[in-house]
Structure 1
Amino acid sequence: MSSLWRNLHLSRAITAAAADFFALQPRQTLALCSDRRGFCINPNRQCSGKRYNVPPSAEFVARVSGIPTMAKLPYQDTAEGLDAAFVGVPIDTGTSNRPGARFGPRQIRVESAMLRAYNSGTRAAPYESLLVADIGDVNVNVYDLKDTCKRIREAYRKIVATGCIPLTMGGDHTIAYPILQAVAEKHGPVGLIHVDAHADTSDVVLGEKIGHGTPFRRCVEEGLLDCKRVVQIGLRGSGYSADSYEWSRAQGFRVVQVEECWFKSLAPLMDEVRNQMGKGPVYLSFDIDALDPGFAPGTGTPEIAGLTPIQGVEIIRGCRGLNLVGCDLVEVSPPYDTTGNTALTGANLLFEMLCVLPKIKYY
């Protein structure tokens, strides 16, 4: 009798083990190239032996499940050990019109659940190339913009000191100033590709020198930019003077007004921009209001007749080969983004930025 019970228990154990094996086979297959946290690379690709963080595929894990980190990447507290990191700066204290950009990083993360591991257009494989994670948000002071800038600067000093490239989710465009302070401390004056409806080079607005309309004036004053390697793309709208971009040109910036972009591919422009930037360090700053509000209505200072999402992607893909040392996507305002499309567009543009960083592998 005892032998019969042993055989019965053994049979049940084998059956259960087999059932578990086949039920979990996709997850086990994925884990063949995983890191210790279970984030892994595509099982159809050959593994390099290096451990990377890769989002769980929606083939096996529902998009609506889990904590909404950027692209469903793992979260870690610091940039230590990372090649690139997504980081949020949730402020709109520097905004001059419609508020709400403080909620931008959160909504971009939610919409980023649609992202997959590979770039079908360029065949970039970022998660087989770089160790990437979401390192959360800078702890900003929503009551004090100057203190917030100090907090951002200190946070980014720590990030860039590790050798990690920050991919920032804004937040209003004020954040570019303290970020570039930290970046320039490490790399020296940097080239800048600034995609925006506005030049953001005002001196004083309502008596204040720090706000989302002034960051690049402050950067020039502090020597953070290599002015011969600065291009501003998509500028448009009514102005406070007949030539709103005179100051930019006087510094040596290349100004590409939106009228120069209408009805055409921007790939030829980016060929010229790459030559202008050369081999030196470059920072990419992309204000979502560069896009026409018909495509991206969820922003604080919309201007009609803007760039298309296709042109936005062309600009970012045109940065491939540059020595990018940081990128940002700013001014997503969820309260004015009733469909979520602005945040979704922002998430995709951030993914495109990841896909053009140095050392990215392409198939």
Structure 2
Amino acid sequence: MFPVWRKVNFVRAAADIFLLPQKRVQSVCSERRSPCLSLTRRCSGRRFNVPPSAEFVARVSGIPTMAKLPYRELADGLDAAFVGVPIDTGTSNRPGARFGPRQIRVESALLRAYNSGTRAAPYESLVVADIGDVNVNLFDLKDTCKRIREAYRKILATGCIPLTMGGDHTIAYPILQAVAERHGPVGLVHVDAHADTSDVVLGEKIGHGTPFRRCVEEGLLDCNRVVQIGLRGTGYSPDSYEWSRAQGFRVVQVEECWFKSLAPLMSEVRAQMSSGPVYLSFDIDALDPGFAPGTGTPEIAGLTPAQGVEIIRGCRGLNLVGCDLVEVSPPYDTTGNTALTGANLLFEMMCVLPKVKYY
């Protein structure tokens, strides 16, 4: 039966596995102002964007967008959007994260439409597209932060939830400035090897080691609803996380995570976050460098990818208003596995956004 339908150029809609003739699909896309550009985007008959299936369109073909979604210049009309922030001028060790968004997009061609583990169907639930990159200033980090803040104000004003591809962790600061302007102080699930709460590094107050100190100073965070997971490594003092705890953060050092499922931890985190707005920030160096070597500041004895997935899936039910995946550095990612892991974690983030349908 399927070969016959394919011969007459019908398209299978991802939502209900129903078929629409070519002209009808194009008409629906036009009527609903869908960002679909052609049948290769596999638009559904509904208002959602559905990436092309590798059953019919080769993964290696086409211009890379996140998960091979349609590209849009603006967030208007979108429920969620993938956006890149390609900077690494805030890094203190190995550079290269400016190329992170590009490589994550390339590796994301392997992603499919459904989450087999949770049975989430994000493309039947949300209108999602790739809206490209913030036009950053690689010569001026403070100006870049201004550009990021202004770009995210516009994204958030549309009601769209940003799913950000970094870039180094500096970007969390201006993003959270924009998020807090719209939602007020937010809860934070911060997954990282480092607390990123330094005050001044080499005389500078803005960099990838300082964003959450700046956020606290500006009242962007609801400090009683902040959890930092996976922290580890050598430090500059006997207790590297004393400042975080003094603000009211829950600090979960990596030793508390070894050899165990993190599902029970995330049950506690969900209770802590309650119903208020929450931002999820995931530094790829939270994972052990044996799994994710392509990053700027690797620390041994980290989380496993499975634990990373548990943390994100444990955010289901939270009022997530934004997410980021940062610090993927392709020059140190010789196999592409770090970027591939980042792409999958971003997909998992999309799957736990509010209103996503589960089978």
Same fold (TM over 0.5): yes
Contact 1:35 1:53 in 2 (8 A): no
Q: Distance in 2 between matches of 1:25 and 1:223?
A: 54
C-alpha displacement of 1:26: 5.0
* Identity within the alignment, %: 87
1:224-239 equivalence runs, <5 A: 224-239=220-235
Contact 1:69 1:109 in 2 (8 A): yes
Given the alignment of the two structures, is residue 97 of structure 1 paired with residue 93 of structure 2, yes or no? yes
Give the corresponding residue for 1:321: 317
Contact 2:80 2:126 in 1 (8 A): yes
Q: Distance in 2 between matches of 1:278 and 1:304?
A: 33
Give the corresponding residue for 1:279: 275
Give the corresponding residue for 1:129: 125
Q: Distance in 2 between matches of 1:354 and 1:287?
A: 16
Q: Distance in 2 between matches of 1:352 and 1:81?
A: 22
Given the alignment of the two structures, is residue 354 of structure 1 paired with residue 350 of structure 2, yes or no? yes
1:236-315 equivalence runs, <5 A: 236-315=232-311
C-alpha displacement of 1:22: 1.3
Give the corresponding residue for 2:33: none
Give the corresponding residue for 2:29: 35
Give the corresponding residue for 1:162: 158
Q: Distance in 2 between matches of 1:23 and 1:259?
A: 59
1:193-212 equivalence runs, <5 A: 193-212=189-208
What amino acid maps onto 2:305 in structure 1? P
Contact 1:284 1:326 in 2 (8 A): yes
Describe the SS at the equivalent of 2:120: coil
C-alpha displacement of 1:23: 6.0
Structure 1 gaps, min length 5: 1-18, 43-48
Contact 2:82 2:162 in 1 (8 A): yes
C-alpha displacement of 1:40: 3.7
Q: Equivalent of 1:69, from 43, 62, 65?
A: 65
Aligned residues: 340
Q: Distance in 2 between matches of 1:227 and 1:79?
A: 30
Q: Distance in 2 between matches of 1:170 and 1:329?
A: 6
- Larger Rg: 1 or 2? 1
Q: Distance in 2 between matches of 1:344 and 1:61?
A: 20
Contact 2:71 2:130 in 1 (8 A): yes
Structure-2 change in CA distance of 1:20 and 1:188 (3 Å): closer
C-alpha displacement of 1:346: 0.0
What amino acid maps onto 1:110 in structure 2? V
Given the alignment of the two structures, is residue 147 of structure 1 paired with residue 132 of structure 2, yes or no? no
Give the corresponding residue for 1:24: 9
Contact 2:29 2:43 in 1 (8 A): no
Contact 1:26 1:60 in 2 (8 A): no
Q: Distance in 1 between matches of 2:5 and 2:166?
A: 44
Q: Distance in 1 between matches of 2:308 and 2:151?
A: 28
C-alpha displacement of 1:24: 2.8
What amino acid maps onto 2:9 in structure 1? L
Describe the SS at the equivalent of 2:46: coil
Describe the SS at the equivalent of 2:228: strand
C-alpha displacement of 1:25: 4.0
Q: Distance in 2 between matches of 1:62 and 1:345?
A: 21
Deviations 1:173-193 (A, max 9, x none): 000000000000000000000
Q: Distance in 2 between matches of 1:26 and 1:354?
A: 25
Contact 1:27 1:60 in 2 (8 A): no
Q: Distance in 2 between matches of 1:21 and 1:86?
A: 31
C-alpha displacement of 1:149: 0.1
What amino acid maps onto 2:51 in structure 1? P
C-alpha displacement of 1:235: 0.0
RMSD: 1.8
Q: Distance in 2 between matches of 1:208 and 1:273?
A: 33
Give the corresponding residue for 2:51: 55
Q: Equivalent of 1:341, from 337, 340, 347?
A: 337
Structure 2 gaps, min length 5: 14-18, 31-35
Q: Distance in 1 between matches of 2:270 and 2:170?
A: 26
Describe the SS at the equivalent of 2:9: helix
Describe the SS at the equivalent of 1:106: helix
What amino acid maps onto 1:102 in structure 2? R
Deviations 1:286-341 (A, max 9, x none): 00000000000000000000000000000000000000000000000000000000
What amino acid maps onto 2:174 in structure 1? P
Structure 1 runs, 4 residues or longer, greater than 6 Å off: none
Q: Distance in 1 between matches of 2:86 and 2:266?
A: 30
